[in-house]
Amino acid sequence: MFPPSTRVLILDDMQSIRDLVKGHLRSLGYQELYEAENGQEGLKILVERYAHSQPIQLVISDWNMPVMSGLELLKQIRASTTMGQMPFVLLTSEAERDQVTEAVLAGASQYIVKPFSGKVLEEKLKGVWAKIKK
């Protein structure tokens, strides 16, 4: 599992979903939580954290957001030489096979369908961590 000191960026255009994810993460011991309401804001935070030598270490992002979607953000991160390997969990209310395939092809580390429980989030994060530590 990711260590409690992991810096996590949570993106969703709905404050209630960001609060829900933050609550689940805090119950798992995570304290350094950053948030944004769209991919453009999230990208700004990612760049700022790197500039201050305190990079974000995990992104949990909604797929559908205004300005820049989670999928667009994921593609930008994967194209980056500095952030390209960052673990990225995509949240969505869509469970269509085509969307899951698109997320995997774009490089999502994991995919979670809304609504989800804290247990589901924990299990998905454990799966991402296991892939990283191989």
Quick one: pLDDT at residue 13? 97
Domains held by the chain: number? 1
Structure tokens at 47: 């760049």
Predicted confidence band of residue 93 (pLDDT cuts 50, 70, 90)? confident
Write down the mean pLDDT value for the chain: 95
Quick one: pLDDT at residue 134? 76
Q: For residue range 98-131, what is the model confidence (pLDDT) as tens digits?
A: 888 899 899 999 999 989 999 999 999 999 999 9
Residue 94 has pLDDT above 80, yes or no: no
First to last CA, the chain: 13
Share of the chain above pLDDT 90, in %: 87
Say which CATH number the domain at 108 has. 3.40.50.2300
Query: What's the half-sphere exposure (Cβ side, CA atoms, 13 Å) at 91?
Result: 24
Structure tokens at 87: 């673990």
Residue 59 within a domain: yes
Residue 70 within a domain: yes
Indicate the SS3 state at residue 99: helix
Whether residue 98 contacts residue 111, with contact meaning beta carbons closer than 8 Å, is answered with no
Quick one: pLDDT at residue 126? 97
Q: For residue range 61-78, what is the model confidence (pLDDT) as tens digits?
A: 999 999 999 999 999 999
Structure tokens at 43: 């990208």
Residue 57 within a domain: yes
Residue 61 within a domain: yes
Residue 39 within a domain: yes
Residue 102 within a domain: yes
Domain of residue 17 covers 8-132
Residue 19 within a domain: yes
pTM over 0.85: yes
Structure tokens at 126: 């454990």
Residue 1 within a domain: no
